[in-house]
Amino acid sequence: MSKKTLSESVGDQDPFWTHDTFLFQGNFPYFRNKPIPVRGKIHTSEETYHLDSFERDIRPIETLKGSRTYIMMHPYVMEPILTFTVGLYNKPKQYADQEAAIGETLSAPKREGVRDMQIGSAQAWYYHQDKIIEIWECFLDSRFSKHPFVHDPHMQKLWQQLESWLVRQFPQARRIITPCNDPIAETIEEYEEFLRSQGFEPVAKAAFGKKTTRKTGTQAEVKLYNV
């Protein structure tokens, strides 16, 4: 029987991500409801844009051509890396009621550090001429969220912390807009109810919006790369 150690390694910090910030403390059934910090990796970049007038139904932006900042955020948690030793049989063992076994575990799992585990996604833009933040999407994966969203404290905290970060990053912003629906919701009514619970109201045929608010306080954040 030969021995082999199974493990996974963590790569160096990817320069694609320009910021890393604490979002909230989560209690997910996936992690047996143990408190776990949720952080966000954030990428920003500058770009020019050109919108068609019909897009104002979902994107109520007055300036159809200009410059905007793109924001991508990946919420994540730190997941332990576990290694264990297995012994490989020289010849697989045959069993009548299951597939052949090629080996067996020889040691208990051993923690060898941590790795980032993405648990959701968010995308947004800041339109400089109109001073508007557009949140295109912001959600947690199905393993980490529950329906209806209006009763999911983690979805609420995710939106609140993203909004807070965006307003701090773009203090000139006067309004936040967002589409009135997202396929992650079971119905459009569920999604609209959630948006209303976050202070949004209809501002266009297919968009919700609200004025920005600024909160005082500090937040742990690391700027990873200057752009």
What pLDDT digit, counting tens, does each position of 186-205 carry?
999 999 999 999 999 999 99
Percent of the chain with pLDDT over 90: 71
At residue 187, the pLDDT reads 97
The pTM of the whole model exceeds 0.85:
no
* Cβ-Cβ contacts under 8 Å for 132 (sequence gap 6 or more): 61, 126, 173, 174, 175, 176, 177
Number of other residues whose CB lies within 10 A of the CB of residue 195? 26
* Per-residue pLDDT tens over the stretch 150-186: 999 999 999 999 999 999 999 999 999 999 999 999 9
CA distance 94 to 116: 38
Q: What stretches in the chain show pLDDT beneath 70? A: 1-13, 80-90, 93, 95-97, 101-112, 214-227
Residue 156, token pair as written in the block: 């609420």
